[in-house]
Structure 1
Amino acid sequence: MILQTVTPISVAGTTVLFALFLSLTAHLAARNVLGDVDPRRALYVGPLPAVVGVVGGAFAVSEAVLVPAALLVDGVMFAWSYDQPRRLVIGMTVIHAVITTLLGIVVLGTAVLLASMPG
């Protein structure tokens, strides 16, 4: 059994990396729906859903509550950052969830494969 120590630095680092990942996938989703967009706007979308995820995970909040809350915050941040009609915001939020899930699976799968590589 490996004992892991949780420090404020590790929590902050995890939150920042997760926020950057969510910002990247938010930009991909916005670009998919709106076309050519300013990538800096996506930097406003990623941090709050990342905080919701990290804090919810830290307090062992049920996924049945955590996922809808994160999606709601994500949609609110898309609406605030891109100032688009509700239908486009819903589309961007759904595409963001799909892109984040797929890219997360690919990145995690690659990490697992590299970690299990012999030698």
Structure 2
Amino acid sequence: MVGLAPAQSVPLGSVPAVLGTLLIAAVFYGVTAHVAARYVLGDVDFEQGLFVGIVPAAILVVGVWLLGEGIGLYVALIGALVGDFVAIDRIYDPGLKWSVAVTLVHYAVSVLLGTAVTSLFV
């Protein structure tokens, strides 16, 4: 009988694990940022969404890694929302009210898609 290989070959909290999580989160938030911006602003470049996605992913992953779970998660979440707004405002440059709209839609799309994807694995 062949032994089962562990699903994760690097220890939790190690630098490769954090970098892998950051890469997956950046792509996820990039795609959801593109969907949100396309819904609110119309025709936008996909690359802009990927650049926006790096900011909340980095703040969330590194924030939780450094601050820990619990209250650190909430601090990182608020920081990610602020960082997301700033990134959307700088990259798309749609104006204040449209930046707020894209940020809110991005948050909603991320929660909905994240919940749907997570429910597939739980």
* TM-score, normalised via structure 1 length: 0.86
Supply the AA of the counterpart residue of 1:60. G
Q: Partner amino acid for 1:47?
A: I
Question: For residue 36 of structure 1, what is the amino acid of its counterpart?
Answer: D
* Aligned pairs (5 A) from 1:10-89: 10-58=17-65, 59-60=67-68, 62=71, 63-89=73-99
Partner of 1:100: 110
- Give the structure 2 partner of residue 5 of structure 1: 11
- Cα 1:9–1:64, aligned 2, differ >3 Å: closer, same or farther? closer
Please list every run of 5 or more consecutive structure 2 residues that lacks an aligned counterpart in the other structure.
1-9
Which letter does structure 2 place at the counterpart of 1:76? V
Secondary structure in structure 2 of the residue aligned to 1:37: coil
* Identical-residue share of aligned pairs (%): 36
Q: Distance in 2 between matches of 1:8 and 1:103?
A: 27
Query: TM-score, normalization: structure 2?
Result: 0.84
Q: CA deviation at 1:8?
A: 1.5
The Cα RMSD (Å) is: 1.6
